[in-house]
């Protein structure tokens, strides 16, 4: 792939969104995981839903989902995130060969990304835009957790999604299913929920979406956002994750935590909502 940069992607958020020191980051993740306790899953993990605010705010909520899958050993991790910076492209990926965090490098599987891109083009859609300069935090913020719970080798398909109109959602899912094949795969949706409402209102709006997740219903998820006022900045990736994991054999979604930023800041007049969940067979 001519666009690929065979170097680690420099982290734009280490030292701000999470600790920049390897020792401090490692200790911080260990503390989050230890506080998560034991979480029993009724089935094999297929996917996760996790927040992507700075670790100080949403790290504990995320950790409860990661803790629950620490014995799982996927060969491939697919992460869907929003693209917070403006881009005209429906689907983007980093051009770098690795994501770099203070805990080391995570390899990006550009061979499979190229196959997905070719599949989208064959279905009449734009190819995946390979960005040499993206600074999206919503994918990278998850990686220190993966680096701490997994000691085996795995590769990453990190995709940043905008609104997926028409048949792009279904074609993307079909293409990924064909590319993933029989590889042991973990699908992650990176999303935060409501932003800057009083906590009581945030709990209500987020509650509709959390219930849709617990019911593992794509239809109810879409209704929560379009009709009931729920918010999720990563809604496209969340919808793709639910459809994709169902095709990979998932049957249910177990909520592992819901919280707001008020639990850290003490400020209840304007909060951000966070949810974590594990999707299982």
Quick: pLDDT tens for 51-92.
999 999 999 999 999 999 999 999 999 999 999 998 999 999
Return the pLDDT at 60.
98
Q: How far is CA 123 from CA 88, 162, 174, 266, in A?
A: 19, 18, 10, 49
Return the pLDDT at 2.
52
Return the pLDDT at 79.
98
Q: How would residue 165 be classed by pLDDT, with cut points 50, 70 and 90? A: confident
Residue 226 Rama label (left phi>0; alpha psi -120 to 50; beta): alpha
Q: How would residue 4 be classed by pLDDT, with cut points 50, 70 and 90? A: confident
Helices (H) and strands (E) in the chain, counts: 10, 12
Mean of per-residue pLDDT scores for the chain: 97
Identify the structural domains of the chain with CATH numbers, from first to last: 16-280 (3.40.830.10)
User: Mean pLDDT over residues 42-50, rounded?
Assistant: 96
DSSP 3-state of 65: helix
């Amino acid at each position: 792939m001519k666009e690929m940069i065979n170097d680690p992607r420099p982290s734009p958020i280490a030292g701000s969104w999470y600790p920049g020191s390897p020792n401090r980051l490692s200790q911080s993740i260990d503390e989050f995981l230890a506080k998560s306790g034991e979480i029993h899953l009724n089935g094999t993990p297929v996917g996760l839903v996790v927040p992507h605010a700075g670790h100080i705010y949403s790290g504990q909520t995320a950790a409860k989902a990661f803790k629950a899958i620490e014995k799982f050993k996927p060969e491939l991790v697919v992460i869907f995130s929003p693209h917070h910076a403006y881009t005209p492209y429906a689907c983007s990926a980093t051009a770098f060969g690795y994501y770099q965090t203070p805990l080391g490098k995570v390899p990006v599987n550009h061979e499979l990304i190229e196959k997905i891109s070719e599949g989208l083009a064959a279905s009449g859609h734009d190819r995946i835009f390979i960005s040499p300069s993206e600074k999206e935090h919503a994918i990278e913020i998850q990686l220190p957790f993966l680096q701490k719970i997994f000691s085996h080798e795995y590769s990453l398909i990190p995709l940043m999604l905008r609104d997926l109109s028409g048949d792009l959602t279904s074609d993307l899912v079909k293409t990924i299913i064909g590319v993933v094949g029989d590889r042991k795969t973990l699908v992650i949706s990176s999303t935060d929920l409501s932003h800057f409402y009083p906590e009581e209102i945030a709990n209500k709006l987020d509650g509709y979406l959390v219930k849709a997740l617990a019911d593992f219903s794509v239809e109810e998820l879409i209704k929560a956002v379009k009709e009931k006022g729920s918010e999720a900045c990563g809604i496209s990736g969340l919808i793709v994750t639910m459809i994709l994991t169902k095709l990979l054999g998932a049957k249910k979604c177990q909520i592992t935590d819901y919280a707001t930023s008020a639990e850290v800041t003490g400020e209840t007049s304007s909060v951000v909502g966070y949810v974590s969940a594990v999707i299982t067979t």
